[in-house]
Structure 1
Amino acid sequence: NVRPEYPYRPYNPTDRNHDYPKKKPYLYPEKTTTAKTTHIGVVTPSDKPDTCDTSYDAVALIRGELFIFKNRYHWRIGANGRYPGYPIEITRMWPSLPKGLTHVDAVYERPDKKIAFFVGKELYLCDSQHLVRGYPKPLTNLGLPESLEKLDAAMVWGYNGKTYFYSGTMYWKYDEDEGRVELDYPRDMSMWKGVGYNIDSVFQWKDGKTYFFKGKGFWKFNDLQMRVEHERQLPSAPMWMH
């Protein structure tokens, strides 16, 4: 058997045209279980997720930077690596999202550069950091079924430039111009061979490739063969949390 090739982001330090994150030493932050003591002596546990050991709620490429979401927090990874001080609350970057936000289910940047946040049965659409007038809207406005409790993931697929939504065992193709899912959907997730059901997130990276996330690992997906490039998941943190 041929061992699967470990995916990598093509980065040539002598090529000034590349804007891929530079390889940096992988620093392990303190465990999130560490309690912090306030000035009055009250111990409060941190609810921040562990940068080096967590699953992801959503992953998205926004304005050319990588955003990773977990619980009410997010990380931001740019051309020079992970921004210091992260993770921070999602609502600090997008204050127009609900004040008591505990998580997001799926996030993607639309072709018109607006950012779609899916939370439960609702869609919040932001233009930069501001909520677009008329939002949030129910998922049913997109042609999704009333019975759908949430989306698992959403992306614009690099293979054809079309938008896809995923939930449980099913996926939908979404028409951005019409504002509704296409009529001959949903279809079974088995079309995306090797990924399985109930994914956590999916996105297209700058290399034009598709990456599916589930638990603490990910698969690189071969868009032409419609199957994962490696059957065994690879750990997410060493690859994406630079």
Structure 2
Amino acid sequence: FLWFSSPRRNEAQLPIRSFWASAPENIDAAYEDPVEDMVFLFKGIFSNNLGMLKPQSTLSEKLLSWPLFINSGNDLEPGYPKPLSSFGLPESVTKIDAAVHDKTSGKTLLFFDKYYYSYNERLNKMDKGKPREVEDVFPFITGKVTAAHMADEKIYLFSGTNLYEFDSGSRKLRRRLKNNHFLSC
């Protein structure tokens, strides 16, 4: 499902395929690069073979096995889907749990387990260094980040039953909220 807020619509969630017919079901993570006006969808159905990524055998499963790059229209971009390693991630990363594009820095944060990588969208490459522990940069988050969102120069990270609001520049915690904060419940 795609969650959004709009004064013109009453529904808060709609199936992703109502926006992009070629999108897979049950995606793991997604983010939008507003500068390029592109949406990235990640779906990780991988078989591990000595740390190597091995896509499933049928064509339809292969299309669902790689991160998908979908433009502002309804079609898959040429050259996609691509493996996670095409972002510069090591092949040991087989699933992205959450992703968010930080408009302030121009970087996309790709979360997995209790770690994240920083991807420089303008240079099209991963920032140098090993993955960082989420808790080292975003204090008070001790569990896995399951969803992420950015609005009004604030990064929102969902973990467990909580939603953490951070200043995008300083990474300082502004508020800890319940994870249904945006649902008007």
* Equivalent in the alignment of 1:241: 183
* Equivalent in the alignment of 1:211: 156
* Equivalent in the alignment of 1:67: none
- Number of aligned positions between the proteins: 161
Q: Percent same amino acid at aligned positions?
A: 27
* Equivalent in the alignment of 2:21: 95
Cα distance between partner residues in 2 of 1:170 and 1:85: 33
Cα distance between partner residues in 1 of 2:154 and 2:122: 24
Aligned pairs for 1:192-211 within 5 A:
192-205=138-151, 207-211=152-156
The correspondence for 1:115, drawn from 39, 53, 57, is 39
Q: Comparing 126-135 with 169-178, which one deviates more in the overlay? A: 169-178
Structure richer in helix, relative to its length: 2
Cα distance between partner residues in 1 of 2:13 and 2:174: 30
- Letter of the structure 2 residue corresponding to residue 241 of structure 1: L
Cα distance between partner residues in 2 of 1:161 and 1:219: 21
Cα distance between partner residues in 1 of 2:146 and 2:121: 22
Gaps of 5+ in 2: 45-64
Deviation at 1:224, TM superposition (A): 4.9
* Equivalent in the alignment of 1:75: 3
Q: Does structure 1 conserve the Cα–Cα contact (< 8 Å) formed by 2:5 and 2:12?
A: no
Under a length normalisation based on structure 1, what TM-score does the superposition of the two structures give? 0.60
Q: Is the counterpart of residue 161 in structure 1 residue 85 in structure 2?
A: no
Larger relative contact order, structure 1 or 2 (CA cutoff 8 Å, min sep 6): 1
Q: Does structure 1 conserve the Cα–Cα contact (< 8 Å) formed by 2:99 and 2:109?
A: yes
* Equivalent in the alignment of 1:53: none
Secondary structure at the residue paired with 2:67?
A: strand
Bigger Rg, structure 1 or 2: 1
* Cα RMSD, aligned residues only: 2.1
Cα distance between partner residues in 2 of 1:155 and 1:93: 19
Cα distance between partner residues in 1 of 2:141 and 2:166: 9
